């Protein structure tokens, strides 16, 4: 049994699931999800379980299963041990942000705690991950009409993340909204490569974006869709300009086209604390 701790929003949960699924396949065992952290209040942005919209292959882990592998966070000795860096034998915590290959050598039941933000953790099962991250239910009629626009032109998704990045929050300590200069440089790059592009804009602050973003070709703004529908619509665009956000990382990655252009910010975090050398797939362009 492999148990993955889920934390963060949809993009983070997709990364966590993808590694867990790969390890479950390697070990020919079940994948189970620990969603208990999502229900807790904290200094981080409040999040809910976001994977139920997809055709994932996993079950909810029980409290007893979690305690068997991860121990009890309320047990005094185990709590003191965690403070000293001592963890249960089958509790595997991500040691740093960039790719850590030893996790793929796990050969028994384990509890995984981390973000696992690299394609390298699941590249061997890419086609399966794309299949399981398809939607369970059809798009709404509104989203379907938007998808038809996407399919009918040289579509380029642009994701602009603001939300908790733009206000004082725990996320804001490490992640800031990208400057418009990045988007203008990315748009310029795309327009030199893609004839007659149409830009499809996705954002958690779409009214702000309408006032700020200028492009020399048609722009279409995604409004009134759920997060998983926006992700799916983004993935159906031909090319991508992503934010420093795992949400649009997945929107671009889920596009299977071999000729896609993906432009990403070279500087992801506002701090030098994290090594992001394995965050972007090799073919993506950092600006």
* 247/229 Cα distance (integer angstroms): 12
C-alpha 243 chain-centroid distance: 11
| Alpha-carbon span 160 to 208, nearest angstrom | 10
Sheet holding 197-203, edge to edge: 219-221, 197-203, 154-160, 239-241, 262-264, 285-286
Q: pLDDT, tens digit, for every residue of 158-179?
A: 999 987 787 656 667 788 889 9
Select from 276, 270, 240, 274 the least CA-distant residue to 257. Answer: 240
pLDDT, one tens digit per residue, over 225-244 is 999 999 999 999 999 999 99
Q: Report the pLDDT value the prediction gives residue 41, as an integer from 0 to 100.
A: 53
259-276 per-residue burial string, b: 16 or more CB within 10 A, e: under 16: ebbbbbbeebbeeeeeeb
Look up residue 211 and give its two tokens: 């006032």
The pLDDT value recorded for residue 40 is: 66
> In angstroms, rounded to a whole number, what is the distance separating the alpha carbons of residues 180 and 190?
15
Does residue 121 carry a pLDDT above 70? yes
Mean pLDDT calculated for residue range 38-65? 83
Q: Which of 35-39, 109-113, 140-144 has the lowest mean pLDDT?
A: 35-39
The phi and psi torsions of 225 (rounded to 5 degrees) equal -105, 155
- Per-residue pLDDT band for 80 (boundaries 50, 70, 90) equals low
Q: Is the confidence at residue 110, as pLDDT, over 80?
A: yes
Give the per-residue pLDDT at 75: 46
Rounded-to-integer distance, Cα 237 and Cα 202, Å: 12
Report how many helices (DSSP H) and strands (DSSP E) the chain contains, helices first.
Answer: 9, 11
Q: What does the pLDDT average to over 119-136?
A: 97
From the number of C-beta atoms within 10 Å of its C-beta (0-12, 13-18, 19+), residue 166 rates as middle
pLDDT given at position 74 = 46
pLDDT of 128 > 60? The answer is yes
Q: What's the rounded mean pLDDT across residues 84-98?
A: 79
Looking at per-residue pLDDT, the higher value among 39 and 57 belongs to 57
For 171-205, the pLDDT digits (tens) are 677 888 899 999 999 999 999 999 999 999 999 99
Residue pointed to by tokens 């966590």: 16
The Cβ of residue 209 has, within 10 Å, a number of other Cβ atoms equal to: 20
More confident residue, 69 or 45: 69
């Amino acid at each position: 049994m492999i148990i993955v701790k889920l934390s963060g929003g949809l993009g983070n949960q997709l990364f966590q699931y993808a590694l867990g699924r790969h390890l479950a396949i390697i070990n020919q065992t079940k994948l189970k999800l620990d969603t208990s952290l999502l229900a807790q209040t904290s200094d981080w942005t409040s999040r809910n379980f976001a994977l139920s919209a997809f055709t994932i292959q996993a079950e909810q882990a029980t409290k007893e299963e979690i305690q068997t592998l991860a121990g009890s966070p309320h047990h005094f000795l185990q709590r003191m041990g965690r403070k000293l860096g001592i963890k249960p034998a089958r509790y595997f915590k991500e040691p740093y942000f960039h790719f850590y290959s030893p996790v793929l050598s796990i050969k028994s039941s384990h509890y995984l705690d981390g973000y696992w933000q690299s394609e390298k953790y699941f590249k061997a099962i890419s086609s399966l991950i794309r299949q399981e991250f398809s939607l369970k239910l059809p798009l709404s009629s509104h989203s379907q009409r938007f998808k038809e626009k996407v399919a009918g032109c040289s579509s380029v998704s642009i994701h602009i993340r603001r939300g908790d990045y733009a206000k004082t929050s725990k996320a804001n300590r490490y992640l800031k909204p990208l400057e418009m200069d990045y988007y203008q440089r990315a748009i310029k790059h795309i327009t030199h490569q893609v004839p007659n592009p149409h830009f499809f804009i996705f954002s958690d602050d779409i009214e702000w974006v309408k006032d700020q973003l200028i492009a020399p070709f048609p722009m279409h703004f995604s409004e009134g869709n759920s997060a998983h529908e926006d992700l799916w619509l983004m993935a159906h665009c031909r090319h991508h300009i992503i934010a420093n956000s795992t949400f649009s990382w997945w929107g671009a990655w889920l596009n299977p086209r071999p000729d896609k252009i993906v432009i990403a910010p070279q500087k992801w975090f506002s701090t030098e604390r994290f090594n992001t050398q394995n965050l972007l797939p090799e073919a993506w362009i950092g600006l």
